[in-house]
Amino acid sequence: MCTVCGCGQGETKIEGESHEHTHVHEDGTVYSHSHGHEEEHHHPHDHDEAHAHPHESQEHLHVHDDGTVHSHGHVHEGGHHHGHEGLDIHFGHGPAHAHAPGMSQARMVQIEQDILSKNDAYAGENRRLFQEHGIFAVNLVSSPGSGKTTLLVRTISALKGRHPVAVVEGDQQTSNDADRIRATGAAAIQVNTGKGCHLDAHMVGHAVERLKPADNSLLMIENVGNLVCPAAFDLGEAHKVAILSTTEGEDKPLKYPDMFAAADVMLLNKVDLLPHLQFNVPLCIEYARRVNPNLRVILISALSGEGMDEWLGWLEDNLKAAAARREETVAQLRQRVAALEAEVARLKG
């Protein structure tokens, strides 16, 4: 459990998946979630592999080829893939991995690997999928209650009939927000992170494979309300959009700079309340640009609709660009296929 912000792992639930289930990906990640067997995972993993480090259950002694003796416990089904060639001497239950003194052989292994490389690899897969399908994906990040879901509902209504919209909802508990989105007629899927305080790219990959957003659609990902760690987790989105509401105080960008540095757009929401508050808008924008000089700021009210045109304009420009990039890729592929076919025809002569 996270002592900094209270997150933990292993309790993720993706709505609509049929049974609880642990699977081991090809790369060895053990992922516990529920899902139906009909669907395809778009990232490769193996449902059969049973033996993942660290070993569990039976304790026993290993004598390696080089004479090293050590004891540990492990499951015997699934075979070893860590190269124990020696004999197994079972001796009941002892401490796991208690090495015989003086017989171990330490060595150094150079790694040079980014700590978040796993998440980043999943994010890369998501991003590739979005690009292939012309999907424009935004990751909405904010404190709890800044107005993310209200804004999503209003955005979906405004785009109705013009652009298909799909939503991934991240919350620790409840499917309330996904229910609010579905009431608009848009497709939504709830991811409950349990103790986890952010969405990661692996969860989003699984959610998207259930959601199956249409080509050239808008995918909005509402992250868990938290101004801290969602900043560090790439989900494969095109842009992070930070939402700050006027009731939170203008110094939030200085208090939680990573989030405002990671975002490309800041929506300053609940501006309808400004007459009742002591909130200095220019100072807030100055603070935000101090941590991110290129930040685009839009003043908005999800309640009154003020500022919605600018926000919708930004979304539509990006939707067009994503669709155009996909067209271009498809046209290039067609050209290549045509060239190959011509070549085949020429060879057949």
Partner 1 sequence: MHEMSLAEGVLQVIEDYARKEGYRRVKTVTLEIGRLSGAEPEAMRFCFDAVVRGTLADGAALEIVETGGSGWCLACGKTVPLEARYDPCPDCGGYQVQATGGMEMRVKELEVE
Ligand X SMILES: Nc1nc2c(ncn2[C@@H]2O[C@H](COP(=O)(O)OP(=O)(O)OP(=O)(O)O)[C@@H](O)[C@H]2O)c(=O)[nH]1
Using CB under 6 A, list all residues that contact ligand X.
142, 144-150, 177, 225, 269-270, 272-273, 301-303
Q: Is 105 in the site for partner 1 (CB under 8 A)?
A: yes
Among the candidate windows 109-117, 126-134, 265-273, 322-330, which touches partner 1 by CB under 8 A?
Answer: 109-117
Residues contacting partner 1: total by CB under 8 A: 51
Q: Which is nearer to Zn ion, 88 or 258 (CB)?
A: 88
326 and 216 in contact (C-beta within 8 Å)? yes
Q: Which does 197 bind (CB under 5 to 8 A by kind): Zn ion, ligand X, Mg ion, none?
A: Zn ion
244 and 253 in contact (C-beta within 8 Å)? yes
SS3 133: coil
Cβ neighbours of residue 343 under 8 Å, at least 6 residues apart? none
Q: Give one DSSP letter per residue of 40-67, joined into a string.
A: PPSS-EESS----SSP-S-EEEEE-TTS
Instruction: Please identify which residue in 21, 41, 70, 210 interacts with partner 1, judged by CB under 8 A.
Output: 70
Q: Which does 111 bind (CB under 5 to 8 A by kind): Zn ion, partner 1, ligand X, none?
A: partner 1
Residue 174: CB atoms within 10 Å: 11
Distance CA 325, CA 323 (A): 5
Instruction: Please identify which residue in 177, 234, 237, 248 interacts with Mg ion, judged by CB under 5 A.
Output: 177
Q: Which is nearer to Mg ion, 201 or 243 (CB)?
A: 243
Distance CA 22, CA 149 (A): 31
Retrieve residue 163's tokens: 């652009």
Q: Is 32 in the site for partner 1 (CB under 8 A)?
A: no
Considering only residues 39 to 68 of the shown chain, the ones binding partner 1 according to CB under 8 A are: 52-54
Residue 231 CB, nearest distance to Mg ion (Å)?
18
Q: Which is nearer to Mg ion, 126 or 146 (CB)?
A: 146
Distance CA 24, CA 32 (A): 9
Distance CA 178, CA 207 (A): 12
Cβ-closest position to Mg ion = 149
How many angstroms separate the first and last alpha carbons of the chain? 69
151 to 170: interface string for partner 1, x by CB under 8 A: --------------------
Q: Is 149 in the site for Mg ion (CB under 5 A)?
A: yes
Site for Mg ion, rule CB under 5 A = 148-149, 177
